Structures are given as structure tokens and as C-alpha cells.
Amino acid sequence: MQGVCYVRCVRRLWGPAQASQILNVTNMHRSVRQLQHKKVMEDNKPWALISEVGGQGYIEEVTDIMKQHFQIICHKDFLQNPLLHGPKIQAMFVWNALPAPEPALLSSLPSLKVVANGGVGIDHLDVSYITSLGVKVTNTPGVVSDATADIAMGLLLASARNIVEGHQIAVNPNTTHKQCQMGVEVTGSTLGIIGMGHIGCKIAQRGKGFDMKIVYHNRSRRNVEDEQAVGASYHDNMDDLLKASDFVVLAVNLTPETTGLISHRELSLMKPTATLVNISRGLVVDQDALVKALQSGTIRAAALDVTHPEPLPRDHPLLGLPNVLITPHVGTNTYTTTRRMVQRMVENAVAALKGQTIPNEVKPK
Amino acid sequence: MAEEKTWALVSEVGGEHGYLEELADILKQHFRIICYRELLEDPVLHGPKIQVLFMWKYCPAAEPLLLGLLPSLKVVVSGGVGIDHLDVPFINSLGAKVANTPGVVSDSTADLTMGLLLASARKILDGHQIAIDPKTMHIPQSLMGVEVTGSTLGIIGMGEIGYKIAQRSKGFEMKILYHNRTRRNVEDEQAVRASYCESLDDLLRKSHFVVIAVKLTSDTTGLVGHRELSLMKPTATLVNISRGQVVDQDALVKALQSGSIRAAALDVTHPEPLPRDHPLLGLPNVLITPHIGISTYNTARRIVEKMVENALAAVKGLPVPNEVKLQLHN
């Protein structure tokens, strides 16, 4: 309303041509003020460092979640002028272990308050070191569990029933006569879960639907209700689980204690008809031992969503074995779960910056 | 002199359609087996001795020409539960019974269904191909699938297999809808938390995963065509473990090409296998397995044992446990 009166006054006082000029300048000033106001609003959002959008980084669809609360800068852009950008950055989002929160990078982020990881595994983060700098560390447990349990079952079934091989035979332009190898029965078989945390329990729940007999090994035994809910039996001795299982699923987190947890000895305890499914971390398994076990028929097959490194070198023996199914760490790769992870990651970072209680703070041991 | 075993005709041992050695051994415990090729060498000599025809993967086909060579035939026993490939009235008219092997096939078929559903939803095939591709240098972030947990599963055909699929889906907290000729009883529904959809259209509109588990009859032929596929969500996946002819394959190709539905996972096609230049083979959003619903050692063995059980009963003139008697009002 004020704007309209102003325009009328100017036009009455100065005549059309000059009024026009004055009004244009005024408009320009107003536009600039508006832009400055908007910029100030955006500038009020704290800066967050991310790896990249696309490539090995985030899918485009989730960037809006981050932008609601943060001004984001990609690692590549940051590196153009670390001295300029560094001090602005208060949060760092880590996705797929990138950007790597290493000393060189962290020392260029004097205002950093939080390293927020997308995903529950934090074996790639030196939590003690980061927190010693006065920076908080967060992860995203819970939101990853369903999708990860689903992939564990998907890998188990695909391996047991030779689904990939079957497809290849079904669509191969040359072979119509090749018989698909017989699979192994899932219903009624014994499922051994090593690591009965949030994800392990959800795997047990799913296994129960197939009338699988569920046995588990964990640092600590779960309570009776949890066990009865899925009909799971505790095996204090992991060796017993290995001997009894038709399918062994690894769902531990990676720590010094679980590194190389499954090696020659453990594989040799498994049934020759058994399948190993790994959805934890590649380093939990001694890969050389696994190759030998698969080649010699010590175990029937393996299905791995994780390896070390990721991806494996192109000449790695695991890639050539017919009884190995590998997926490129897709445990949480659904639009729904990815969005939830980014949302949780952002929530954690916002809480850290505001000095509020952080939903998923990771404290050093 | 050892009692002569009853003669039974099989396709072959080994080979594309044949029995695995271990399975043939089960047959040989109770029967004198003769392969189709051997029969043809001297049908006049061998034919009249044969009292049992064991069918495995549709072979040997129980056609008039073959049956004409088997005047002593008492029973045709088909491994598996589907009997759409058998002309039951015709076989009965020759004085022979027909038997199949229901029940023993259900678990492994339901398992494969879930395997196909998960493999398609989570792009396990694509993932594996990328993981082992010599050109792969980085883990791709763009290989995104669709969420299975908490999604809606629509089961068309809630027989024994359909029900077992529902049981398995419950563990994934899927919301279960089903359509069937008749509604199941309340306890059955509550046990798997399944809701009846009297309208198939309703089920198609609401489901993220549509599983076809009907048997093939004149009523179910072409049950899922253009119209049905267009009712489905563009984010939905079709899983077929029944028979290829239940789906209009040309309509399916169009729906997959146009994005009318997200993807399809098929253990069955028509014919099997598909001709090598069939458009379904070239689509990136199709997963096909070569009818392996019952292909586990355990289940195959149980099927063969049940085939033997039925054949022995027929030969002895006893009631045949799984005799196929066609409903008058079918």
C-alpha cells in the first residue's frame, strides 16, 4: 500500500519521464534490499560440508532435506578456497565415508561442531580423535535396520535359490538347454545370526516367517521376550552356531574384536552345504580364507553386500567364483530409507549446533 | 527269482528335462524304469508292460500318440501341483488315473516368490553385475531400489502357496491384501493379517507388489492384461509364479517399456523358455528364472517320493492319495 502511494506522489510531483527514472532507481534499490534480505536469511543458515551430489555422493532427491537447515558446500568447491570457506563450516555430513574426517581436513574447519554420519556403522571414524577436538560425532541407527534386514534376506534367498544364475540362463541368447543348478531349501532350515542387534533381530523376525530355526550369537544374551518373539536360541559358543547353521548371517558392527571374526577355522566348522551372508563389514571376514573355503567346497556359497575394499580390485578371486553373490553395499539403497537417513543426519547436526540433546550421539569408549 | 518291479515310463535321466541321478534312484527302488527313448526303440515289446507314466517338467507329454502305446497304463503321475498341461478327462477315458503332488511344492514355491520379490525390489541382479563388472571402479550411489518392509503386498490366488507367501511377508511387516475365488476364514486372515479384496481392481490399485499365485484355468487365462496393468501403481512390481498364460505377455512388455509398472519378476512364461528374440528378454526391469519354483534337493526328493506313493497305490488298486478329479462345476 505504501509503495503505491509513493509511486502516485512521485508521478504527481515529477511528471512521467523523470518519475519513471526515479521509480526505476527506487525499484532497483528495493530489489537489491530484497535480495540482500534473502541472502541474510540464507546466511543465517549454518554451513555444512558434504562430499558431492551425484557420483559417490547424495542422490539429488535428498539435497532439499539438507538445504532446509544448512547452506551446503561440496568438498570440491571447498577445496577451491579452504581458507575462505573453512571457518564458515559448522557441520560436516559424512556419506559413504566421504569426505574423510582426517586431521588435514578437520584442521581447516575451526568452527566445526559436529561430524554427522549417514548410516549406523562408524568404523571409518576415529571417534576419540574427532571428539578430542571438541567436535561431536553422530550416526543414524534404527532408520537403517529394515532395509538392511531386507537385503540380508534378499541375498540369502537369491543365493539359496540360484536366482542370478537362473536369470542368466533364462535370458541368455545362446543357451536354452542349460539346467539351472538345484538350490537349497530355505523353509525349515537353520539360520545362525552372528550379531543380534537391531538389524540382527529384524533378520530373525523375517527368518521366522520362513519357519527357519533361529540360533544366534551375541556379546550379551538378549532377554527372554526378545528370544521368544522370534523363537531364537542363544549360543554362547559361536562354534556351535557355525556347526548347526545352514545359513550364517553376519550382522555385527566392525570393531577390533570382530575384525577377522570369520576365518579359516570358523569356515571349516560350517557345513559344506552352508551359505555365508555378510551385511556387516568386509573386514569381519578373512577374505583369503573365504576364497579358499568357496573354492574347496568347505562351504556351499557366500552372499556379500560388503567387501574390503569396496569395490574389490578387478582381479580379486572372489569376483570369479561361481558360488559368490556380491552386491555393491546397497543395504540401505531405497529412496525411503535414504531420505530417512538424511533426515536423521540433519536432525543430529541441527541439535548439535543448537546445543540441544543429540538424538544419536556417538561417544568415545 | 526276484519279484519283477512294475514298469514305469520316464522321460530321461539327466539332460535338460530329466531326473537327477539321485531322484531316479528313488524311482528305481520301486519301479523298473524305462526311458522314453528306449520305449521308442521297440514300443510293441515295451509298451504293454508299462503301468505308470511319470511326468517331470511336462515330459514325456501324455498325448494320444504316446498313450496309444500304453494299453496297460494305470496312472499318469505328474511331479508338481499344476495340471493345466494334462487332459484329465481324456486320460481317464483310457482307464488311467491322474495324480499330482500338491502340498510338498508349497514351501519352496513361496520361498522363491519372496526371493524374486526381494531381488527385483532391491536390484540384486543389477547390483551383482555391477559388483563383478571389470569396469567398475566406484560403488554407485544411484542403484536405488524400492522399500519392501511396510509396503503393500497383493496376493492374487490365496491357496496353499498364496497363504504361505502371506506368512513370509508378515515377517517383513508388509500390509497384505488378497483376492481369491472365495474368501478365507477369519482365523486364517487374522493369522497373517490379510485383508480380502473382493474387487481385483482394488487390489491392483493399492499394491506395491502384486503376486500371482493362481492355477491356470480357463478363468485365469489372461487374467492380468492391459487394463489390469494400467490399474497398478507405476512404482509397483508384478511377480508371477503361477503360469505364463495367466499374464498377457504382450501387454506386460508394453507396460514395462512405458513405465506403467516399475518391474516384473517371473518364474513362469509362455512358452518356457521364451524364444531368444522375445522382447521380455531385453528389458532391464525384468527378472526371469527358468521355472525353478521347486528346484531344491529337498523338495524335488519329496515330490518324487510322493509320485512313487501315488503310483504304487494306483498299481495296487488302492485309493490314490492325490488323485486329480476334475470339479464338475469348474
- pLDDT by residue (tens digit) across B131-146? 999 999 988 878 999 9
Is the domain of B82 the same as that of B163?
no
From the list B59, B46, B51, B49, the residue with the least C-alpha distance to B94 is B51
- pLDDT by residue (tens digit) across A213-229? 999 999 999 999 999 99
Best to test chain B binding among A95, A157, A178, A307 (most B CBs inside 10 Å): A157
Q: Which residues 272-291 in chain B show a CB within 8 A of chain A?
A: 273-274, 276, 281, 287-290
Q: Is residue B127 part of a domain?
A: yes
Is the domain of B127 the same as that of B189?
yes
Q: How many CB atoms lie within 10 A of CB A5?
A: 9
Q: Tell me if A43-141+335-362 shares its fold with A144-173+181-326.
A: yes
* B110 pLDDT more than 90: yes
Is the domain of B27 the same as that of B129?
no
Q: Which residues 200-229 in chain B show a CB within 8 A of chain A?
A: none
B224 vs A8, which has greater pLDDT? B224
From the list A90, A96, A151, A85, the residue with the least C-alpha distance to A118 is A96
CATH number at residue B52: 3.40.50.720
Lateral strand order in the sheet of A232-234: A232-234, A213-217, A190-194, A247-250, A275-278, A301-304, A324-326
Residue B298 C-beta-side C-alpha neighbours within 13 Å: 16
Across the interface, whether the CB atoms of B115 and A179 are under 8 A apart is answered no
| CA A239 to chain CA mean position, Å | 30
What average pLDDT does the structure give for chain B?
95
Residue A12's pLDDT band, with cuts at 50, 70 and 90, is low
Angle at A158 between CA A155 and CA A160, to 5 degrees: 100
Please state, in angstroms and as integers, the Cα–Cα distance from residue A35 to each residue in A42, A66, A83, A136, A190, following that order: 10, 22, 26, 34, 65
- pLDDT by residue (tens digit) across A328-355? 999 999 999 999 999 999 999 999 999 9
Is the domain of B115 the same as that of B246?
yes
Q: What was the pLDDT predicted at A266?
A: 98
Is the domain of B215 the same as that of B91?
no
What average pLDDT does the structure give for chain A?
91
Q: What was the pLDDT predicted at B19?
A: 87
Residue B330's pLDDT band, with cuts at 50, 70 and 90, is very low
Q: Is residue B256 part of a domain?
A: yes
Q: Which residues 222-241 in chain A show a CB within 8 A of chain B?
A: none
- Burial bucket for residue B190 (CB in 10 Å: 0-12, 13-18, 19+): exposed
From the list B198, B254, B197, the residue with the least C-alpha distance to B229 is B254
What are the structural domain ranges in chain A? 43-141+335-362, 144-173+181-326
- pLDDT by residue (tens digit) across B278-295? 999 999 999 999 999 999
Q: Is residue B322 part of a domain?
A: no
Region A7-24 average pLDDT? 55
The count of structural domains within chain B is: 2
- Burial bucket for residue A68 (CB in 10 Å: 0-12, 13-18, 19+): exposed
Angstrom distance (rounded) from CA A72 to CA A50:
7
Region B49-61 average pLDDT? 95
Is the domain of B233 the same as that of B167?
yes
* B2 pLDDT more than 70: no
Is the domain of B130 the same as that of B266?
yes
Q: What was the pLDDT predicted at B1?
A: 45
* A210 pLDDT more than 60: yes
Q: Is A272 on the interface with B (CB under 8 A)?
A: no
Q: What was the pLDDT predicted at B17?
A: 76
- ipTM of predicted assembly, 2 dp: 0.96
Q: What was the pLDDT predicted at A1?
A: 45
Q: How many CB atoms lie within 10 A of CB B69?
A: 16
Residue A167 with chain B: CB contacts under 8 Å: 125, 287-289
Please list the active-site residues of B.
243, 272, 291
CA closest to B268 among chain A residues: A170
Best to test chain B binding among A146, A153, A167, A172 (most B CBs inside 10 Å): A167
Among B108, B167, B290, the residue with its CB nearest the CB of A185 is B108
Is the domain of B265 the same as that of B277?
yes
Q: What was the pLDDT predicted at A30?
A: 65
Q: The CATH number of A43-141+335-362 is which of 3.40.50.300, 3.30.9.10, 3.40.50.720, 3.30.70.1380?
A: 3.40.50.720
Region B6-25 average pLDDT? 90
Q: What was the pLDDT predicted at A128?
A: 96
Residue B326's pLDDT band, with cuts at 50, 70 and 90, is confident
pTM of the model: 0.92
Q: What was the pLDDT predicted at B281?
A: 95
Across the interface, whether the CB atoms of A187 and B138 are under 8 A apart is answered no
Is the domain of B215 the same as that of B90?
no
The residue range of the domain holding B214 is: 105-288
Q: Is residue B330 part of a domain?
A: no
Region B152-159 average pLDDT? 98
Residue A173's pLDDT band, with cuts at 50, 70 and 90, is confident
Please list the active-site residues of A.
281, 310, 329
Class for the domain spanning A144-173+181-326: alpha beta
Please state, in angstroms and as integers, the Cα–Cα distance from residue A43 to each residue in A213, A343, A346, following that order: 57, 21, 18
* B158 pLDDT more than 60: yes
Is the domain of B97 the same as that of B220?
no
Q: Is residue B1 part of a domain?
A: no
CA closest to B235 among chain A residues: A335
Is the domain of B206 the same as that of B302?
no
- pLDDT by residue (tens digit) across A238-264? 999 999 999 999 999 999 999 999 999
Residue B193 to chain A, least CA–CA distance (Å)? 13
Is the domain of B43 the same as that of B98?
yes
